[in-house]
Amino acid sequence: MKKAIFVIILLLFFSFLINVPNVKADAGNTIYVDDDNDPTWYNATHVATFQEAIDNATTGDTIYIWDGTYVLDRPESYNRINKTLTIIGNGTDKVHIDCNNTFLYIYNTTAMYVDISGIHFFRGDYNNDEGFFSIDTLGCVNITNVVINNTNSTGFLIPRMPLAVAYIIGYPNVRISNTTMRDINGTFIEVLSNYGNFTMENCSLSTGNGSGYFDDYGCIQLGQACSAQTIIRNCSFADMNYTDIDYGVLSIQQENCTIYNDTFYNTTTAISVWGYNLSRNCLIYNNYFHGNVTTSVRIPFPYLANVSFNTTKTLGTNINGGANIGGNKWYSYVGYDNDDDGIGDIPFFIDTVSGVSYYDYLPLKNDDEYFVVDDDFTVAIPGWEVTRFDNISGAINASTTNRDIFVWNGTYYENITINNSFSINLVGNSSTNTTVDFGGIADYGVFIGNNTSYVNISGFTFTNLDSNWDAILIDYDSNNITIFNNSFVDVGFGITTNPRTRNLVIIDNRFTNITWDGLLLDTYGDIIVYNNTYWGGQYSFVCAKHSCLCR
């Protein structure tokens, strides 16, 4: 009898557990949103607009949005989410919220948990100074499986939280995952000074051109003195061009930041790490940097306290498919891997700031197909005059398709002609010890021929040219030429263009003892001229005849 009573009590107990709702705090209601249902369907929990659902909800509620396009038609102060809510769309291909030049404002110290998923947001812009999502709360915000595009504003703005308030009440924690952001003419995500955790993972960000309000801040700005933990992992960044290359796609001005398993393709600067003791305890490893227009990593200012570009060597599949995890895969790394462990045998140089040099000491082996030039190569080297050359012109002449050509330290006595119908990426190992000596000839040093497109030249010293000739001449109708991080010494002219050249990028070059002009540019199209230095010469920079947009 006692056993039977015990069984009955146990069954009643489990029955009670089954019927207890599984929620974070209060047991909330479900509010349904559908913009084209039967008129008799609507009531306080069955509504036609997203804003009605927010208004009618109480803390702990779930809002489920059915297929349709929902337009926000109120000022931002009425688009405020200030309570614990779970907002679920039926899918980013079915549920569309037109923000109508405003934004969603997640704001209130009582908004402890906000979850948003399954929605496509578009057309957001509020004076370009807030955000598509403006998150200003001491609670937790989780945004997953969302698509954001077609806006001139910041995608997400996470404002500064006062330390005293954060310390007393709590830490704001924001997680963005499985989200796609594209075609945003400004900063995609800006995390200003706060003291909570920020995590972004499994996201895709593409096509940001920096023409919005946050033009100089890059794609993601991690602001000053954020003292908790920032993690950015398993994300891809592609096709992003910003006018100020000191701000990278990721611009880091905070501490306790870990960046790993990410890919960067066709960008200006991929990552910029700022100094002034702001960027402490930062670890950047197992990322893939390729196709960058300027450089993978910049360190614009000194006094950088602690940043590492590799972790310790550990077993595990790296981003390049190798058997060990260590540093990053760099587009321009050409070190050998003699022990075949997937990690290059020599460090990868990153930057020098105030006499301090930064390296990736465990760079991943670069398996991409490229040509290598070394003046010490001989006929005995495997790949001789196929993929390995002892002079630069031989590598260029052997190229029959888009080609990366990496040139090791040394002095190369030659003049160079690039006159191809495909792209050439010519990378010297270092402008301090990879020299092209033109031998004092009365001719062009490097000639980029008529109608040539997509040529990048970086990492060289060009020297010893007749005083009336050009170190680099870009001929008629050439376009998309990038020349960065080179030194020009004892030449007549530094870089000269003939008319009708278009889309030039000339950055971080040094001109010393130039007889005439460092730059003499005659062009139709857009030019970016940035951070070049000039010592000597009649003029430092002449932009002649046709339209030049120089930054």
Asked whether residue 461 is assigned to any structural domain, the reply reads yes
Q: Which phi-psi region, left, alpha or beta, contains residue 23 (left: φ > 0; alpha: ψ -120 to 50)?
A: beta
Check: CB of residue 108 under 8 Å from CB of residue 82: yes
- Whether residue 59 is contained in a domain is answered as no
- Among residues 334, 360, 386, which one ends one of the domains? 360
Return the CATH number at 433: 2.160.20.10
User: Are residue 321 and residue 444 in the same domain, yes or no?
Assistant: no
Contact 191, 226 (CB under 8 A): yes
Q: Which residues of 280-312 are buried (b: 16+ CB within 10 A; e: fewer)?
A: eebbbbbbbbbebbbbbbbbbbeebeebbbbbe
380 shares its domain with 271: no
Q: Name residue, tokens 């913009």.
A: 35
Q: Do 160 and 180 share a structural domain?
A: yes
Do residues 197 and 338 both lie within one domain? yes
In this structure, the answer to whether residues 87 and 108 fall within a common structural domain is yes
Residue 110 forms part of a structural domain? yes
DSSP state at residue 365: P
CB distance 21 to 55 below 8 Å: no
Judging by DSSP bridges, how do beta strands 80-81 and 46-47 pair with one another? unpaired
β-pairing, 517-522 vs 539-544, is: parallel
Instruction: For residue 230, give the nearest of 266, 269, 263, 189 by alpha carbon.
Output: 189
Contact between 256 and 278 under an 8 Å Cβ cutoff? The reply is: no
| Three-class secondary structure of residue 290 per DSSP | strand
476/97 Cα distance (integer angstroms): 48
Residue 56 lies in a domain: no
Q: Are residues 441 and 333 in the same domain?
A: no
Residues 333 and 409 placed together within one structural domain of the fold: no
Side chain identity at residue 237, one-letter code: F
Distance CA 219, CA 183 (A): 11
Q: What sign does the dihedral 532-534-537-539 (CA atoms) show?
A: positive
> Could you give the CA distance from residue 547 to residue 309 in angstroms, rounded to a whole number?
41
Q: Report in angstroms the alpha-carbon separations of 13 from 8, 10, 18, 24.
A: 9, 5, 9, 21
Q: Tabulate helix, strand, coil % of the chain (nearest 5).
A: 10, 40, 50
What is the token pair recorded at 542?
């002449």
Say if residue 296 is in the same domain as residue 394.
no
Residue entry with tokens 């040539």: 452
For residue 407, the one-letter residue type is: V
> Dihedral of CA 536/538/544/549: which sign?
positive
Q: For residue 492, what pLDDT is reported?
A: 93
pLDDT at 488: 96
Q: Is residue 108 part of a domain?
A: yes
Residues 436, 297 share a domain: no
Whether the CB-CB separation of 230 and 189 falls below 8 Å is answered with: no
Residue pair 113/172 in contact (Cβ under 8 Å)? The answer is no
Q: Could you list the pLDDT tens digit for every one of the 551 residues in the chain? A: 444 443 343 344 334 333 333 334 444 799 999 999 999 999 999 999 999 999 999 999 999 999 999 998 776 656 788 889 999 999 999 999 988 877 787 877 665 789 999 999 987 765 545 557 777 777 788 999 999 887 666 677 665 443 333 322 345 688 999 999 887 766 788 776 556 788 999 999 887 654 433 445 567 777 655 557 889 999 998 887 666 666 677 777 777 889 999 998 877 778 877 755 555 678 999 999 876 555 677 776 555 557 889 999 999 999 988 899 999 998 777 666 778 898 988 888 887 777 777 889 999 986 666 789 999 999 998 889 998 999 999 999 999 888 889 899 999 999 999 998 888 989 898 888 999 999 998 899 999 999 998 898 999 999 999 999 999 999 998 988 889 889 999 999 999 998 888 878 888 899 999 998 888 887 666 677 877 888 765 556 555 444 444 44
Question: Any idea which residue has 């974070």 for tokens?
Answer: 24
Q: What is the DSSP string of 463-521?
A: E---TTSEEEEE-TT-EEEEEES-EEES-SEEEEE-TTBEEEEEES-EEES-SSEEEEE
Question: Is 131 domain-assigned?
Answer: yes
Closest C-alpha among 532, 540, 496 to residue 514: 540
- What the block records as the tokens of 382 is 């495997």
Centre a 10 Å sphere on the Cβ of residue 130 and count the other Cβ atoms it contains: 20
Is 283 a member of any domain? yes
Which pair of structure tokens corresponds to residue 179? 């989200």
CA 31 to each of CA 23, 24, 65, 86, 415: distance values in angstroms, whole numbers, following the listed order? 15, 17, 8, 10, 73
Q: How many helices and strands (H and E) does the chain possess?
A: 4, 55
Question: Which residue range is the domain that position 171 belongs to?
Answer: 81-91+103-116+125-360
| Distances in whole angstroms, Cα of residue 198 to Cα of each of 142, 202, 391 | 10, 14, 49
Instruction: Write out the DSSP string of 180-242.
Output: EEEEESS-SEEE-S-SS-EEEES-EEEEE---STTTTS-SEEE-TT--S-EEEES-EEEEE--
Number of domains comprising the chain:
2
Strand partners for 483: 457, 506
Select from 360, 385, 415 the last residue of a domain: 360
Residue pair 95/68 in contact (Cβ under 8 Å)? The answer is yes
178 lies in the same domain as 301 = yes
Same domain, 304 and 399: no
State pLDDT tens for residues 26-42.
447 999 999 999 999 99
The answer to whether residue 17 sits within a structural domain is: no
DSSP letter at 501 equals: B
Listed in order, strand segments (DSSP E) in 118-203 are 120-122, 133-136, 140-144, 147-151, 156-158, 173-177, 180-184, 189-191, 198-201
Contact 381, 401 (CB under 8 A): no
Say if residue 328 is in the same domain as residue 396. no
Under a CB-based contact definition with an 8 Å cutoff, are residues 387 and 372 in contact?
yes
Question: Do residues 143 and 179 lie in contact, with contact meaning Cβ atoms separated by under 8 Å?
Answer: yes
Q: In this structure, what token pair is assigned to residue 474?
A: 């870009």
Distance CA 213, CA 242 (A): 12
Question: What is the rounded CA–CA span in Å between residue 95 and residue 116?
Answer: 12
**Residue 222 · residue 257 · CB < 8 Å:** yes
The pLDDT of residue 15 is: 43
